[in-house]
C-alpha cells in the first residue's frame, strides 16, 4: 500500500471515530450527578434561589436534607440538547458548594440548565411543585407559587 493511501485510510478512520464519538456524547442519557460529577460527600451547602423574586436566597447546610435533595434530583435522566432556545424565565435555581467553592449550578426549567449547558429530561417529570414543597419543608418562610 502506498503511503498516501495508508494516510487517507487513517484520516478517514479517525474522522469517523470523532464524528460518531461526538454524536454519542450529545445523545448519551445520564443522571444529573453524572453531569455535575458531584459526590454527596462533597456538598456542604445548597443555596436555593427564586426566579420569581418572592423569596430571598436560602442556604441549606443540614447534611441529611442535602442528601435527600440530591437523591430527589438524581432521579431524572437527562440528555444534552444539541439545539436550544434561551430560557425566558425560571422558578428555582440551586448552587451547590463545598465550603465556599461552587461545585455546580442548576436552573430548573424545561430544559434544565446545568452549569450553562442545556439538558432535556428524558426520564422523570420536572416538578417545580415538588422542589418548592421540599424547600418549604426546610424553610417554612418560603413562599410557594
Domains of the chain: 28-138 (3.30.1490)
The rounded mean pLDDT for the chain is 84
- Is pLDDT above 60 for 21? no
**Contacts of 144 by beta carbon, 8 Å cutoff, 6+ apart:** 132, 133, 136
In the prediction, which pLDDT does 24 show?
Answer: 46
- Is pLDDT above 70 for 57? yes
C-alpha of 98 from chain center: 17
CA angle 70, 123, 135 (to 5 degrees): 35
**What percent of the chain clears pLDDT 90, i.e. is strictly above it?**
39
Q: What are phi and psi of 24, to 5 degrees?
A: -65, -40
Amino acid at each position: 500500500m502506498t503511503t498516501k493511501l495508508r494516510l487517507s485510510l487513517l484520516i478517514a478512520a479517525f474522522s469517523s471515530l470523532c464524528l460518531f464519538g461526538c454524536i454519542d456524547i450529545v445523545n448519551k442519557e445520564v443522571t444529573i450527578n453524572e453531569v455535575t460529577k458531584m459526590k454527596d460527600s462533597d456538598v456542604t451547602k445548597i443555596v436555593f434561589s427564586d426566579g420569581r423574586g418572592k423569596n430571598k436566597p436560602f442556604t441549606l447546610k443540614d447534611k441529611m436534607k442535602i442528601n435527600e435533595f440530591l437523591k430527589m434530583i438524581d432521579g431524572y435522566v437527562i440528555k444534552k440538547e444539541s439545539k436550544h432556545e434561551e430560557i425566558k424565565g425560571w422558578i428555582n435555581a440551586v448552587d451547590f458548594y463545598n465550603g465556599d467553592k461552587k461545585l455546580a449550578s442548576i436552573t430548573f426549567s424545561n430544559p434544565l440548565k446545568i452549569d450553562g449547558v442545556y439538558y432535556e429530561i428524558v426520564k422523570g417529570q420536572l416538578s417545580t411543585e415538588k422542589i418548592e414543597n421540599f424547600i418549604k419543608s426546610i424553610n417554612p418562610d418560603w413562599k410557594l407559587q
